[in-house]
A and B are shown apart, each in its own frame.
Chain A
Amino acid sequence: MSVFDIIGPIMIGPSSSHTAGAVRLGLAARAIIGGQVSRADITLHGSFAETYHGHGTDIALVAGLLGMSPDDERIPNAMQIAQEQGLRVGFHRADLGDAHPNSAQMELVSPDGVKRSIRGASVGGGSILITKIDQFTVDFTGENHALVVSYKDQPGIIAKITSLLAAENVNIAAMRVSREAKHSKALAIVELDQPAPEKSITRISQVPSVDTVMVLPPISLEEGE
């Protein structure tokens, strides 16, 4: 444990879980859709639904979708900045069932019309967990570099992905695979110890039956860290 985990992070208040963590959920969702967002429908669950107003959880999620870090002093004005930047936002409260109490479900549309459905939870101290991308159950913290690969399920795909990474000496920290059904659409989240080189990303996206490769940077807790 670092001394700077105790004296820190530098953040916009009032709550590491309901504010700083919410910004990071927004940031993670922005990374997953690949940048700018033009439409966001956000459903808040549990404690997020109960106390979002006083904690600024809604504002914090929007700030993250706009690319602000958790210590950005523009966070309180995120709703207005969203309007200026053409991000339309809607908020709803609902019971998402068996989800962590601090969960948000985000239905996002990019300016190019790409749609993504992302669910995540703020699990304490600003730490987050992304639990769903579209129809797939996932489980990653945003602390590492990661690749999100969507493909058609068939034997050998995972081996190809991992060997293409190994060829460039990239170490895998964690990996999770999820699929709709046998031989149907599948998603792999590969967390890495370092950023994947351009070469491996290109070669993975050229693997037959690989659909898309998303490159996710670590979601920082603080600007410049």
Chain B
Amino acid sequence: MAITTIAKLVEAASSRGSTIGALARELEADDTGLSVAQLDEKMRRRLQVMRDSVAAGLEGVRSKSGLTGGDARRMTEAQSRGVLIGNEPLDSAMAYALAVSEVNAAMGRIVAAPTAGSCGILPGVLLSVAKTLDTSDASLIEALFSAGAVGAVVARSSTLAGAAAGCQAECGTGAAMAAAAATELAKGSPRQCANAVAFAFKGLLGLVCDPVAGLVEVPCIKRNAICVAVALAAADMALAGIESVVPPDEVIETMGLIGRELPASLRETALGGLAATPTGKGLAAKLMSSKQE
């Protein structure tokens, strides 16, 4: 994609009266020589994998380590019992995000978005918002292009790697992508989508990557679910017409700068944060000894 800033995405989409998603798909067509129909088909396959992973996770899965699984199912059961405070689209979005992340941990098939560790947020938010708003698949596919465009800008101007900048780079970007895409599904303008990106990052700047035993399970799966709430809050503020004081591109750049200031212990090395708690260390030692049997 030739466009490298959120500001330019907004400008180009606004001037032609299109969504960021439609613009991103055109840019992808220019780059690849593929037709819009071919690109839609390629994205449709990803949408299908997202749906399948939600369904598998809601059935209930268990990871190889035995640390995680079954929480997506717990969420939907609680939803049907009517014991939750929240409401739609939040409750389903969290259940879906847990489902996809649990399937990932259990060696199931997922779509990285932008990474495997943050794969639950985008499908969680989009599929739930689509259910609430009764959105067509065509709009969902376009929203996925929008999310992809946001992720591509972050990859270019900052990073998507937890090892480089902590969880803010993975789940932070996933939430920003989901916030922009949800805003677009709710008929927000390109400018509102950009504000949603800024808000989501603002809520997650500094988030560290501290996986217990180095596995993509604790706290990653629950972080995916929490980030869904951040993404929906960001989208709603943007739809209300609230403006980010610091422009989205500066917020994204800041994420990368903060990442560089994070100590290595909080960048995916499993040496700090929750990984270094007595429980975290205990689980790591237990898993290490069980595999050596």
Contact = CB atoms under 8 A, between A and B. Distances in A.
B145 interface: yes
B177 A6 contact: yes
Nearest to A126: B112
A54 B111 contact: no
Interface in B1-56: 1, 24-25, 28, 31-32, 42-43, 45-46, 49
Most chain B CB atoms below 10 A, which of A9, A15, A19: A15
A51 B63 CA distance: 14
Contacts of B111: 7-11
A19 B63 CA distance: 14
A124 interface: yes
B112 A71 contact: no
A73 B109 contact: yes
B113 A13 contact: no
Given A2-B31, A3-B1, A13 B108 contact: yes
A54 B287 contact: yes
Interface residues of B, number: 54
Nearest to A58: B291
A16 B155 contact: no
Given A53-B291, A54-B287, A1 B1 contact: yes
B215 A71 contact: no
B1 A2 contact: yes
A15 B147 CA distance: 21
A80 to B, nearest CB: 14
Contact of B105 (A3, A9, A10, A14): A14
Given A3-B1, A8-B111, A124-B161, A13 B103 contact: yes
A135 interface: no
A47 B109 CA distance: 23
B229 interface: no
A19 B217 CA distance: 14
The prevalent SS among residues of B at the interface is helix
Interface string A36-76: 00000000000100111111100100000000000101011
Contact of B117 (A12, A15, A76): A15
Q: How large is the interface on A (under 10, 10 to 19, 20 to 34, 35 or more residues)?
A: 20 to 34
Contact of B116 (A4, A20, A59): A20
Interface string A75-114: 1100000000000000000000000000000000000000
Contacts of A4: 28, 42-43, 46, 148
A6 B151 contact: yes
A47 B213 CA distance: 11
Contacts of B117: 14-15
Nearest to B68: A14
B64 A15 contact: no
Contact of A13 (B67, B104, B291): B104
28 contacts: A1-B156, A2-B31, A3-B148, A3-B151, A4-B46, A5-B152, A6-B152, A7-B148, A7-B151, A10-B49, A11-B109, A11-B110, A12-B107, A13-B103, A13-B104, A13-B106, A14-B104, A14-B107, A14-B116, A16-B112, A16-B116, A19-B116, A51-B215, A53-B290, A54-B287, A71-B109, A73-B108, A124-B161
Interface of A: 1-16, 19-20, 47, 50-56, 59, 71, 73, 75-76, 124-125
The 6 closest A-B pairs by CB, nearest first: A3-B148, A13-B104, A6-B151, A53-B291, A14-B216, A54-B215
Interface of B: 1, 24-25, 28, 31-32, 42-43, 45-46, 49, 63-65, 67, 103-117, 119, 122, 144-145, 147-149, 151-152, 155-156, 160-161, 163, 177, 213-217, 287-288, 290-291
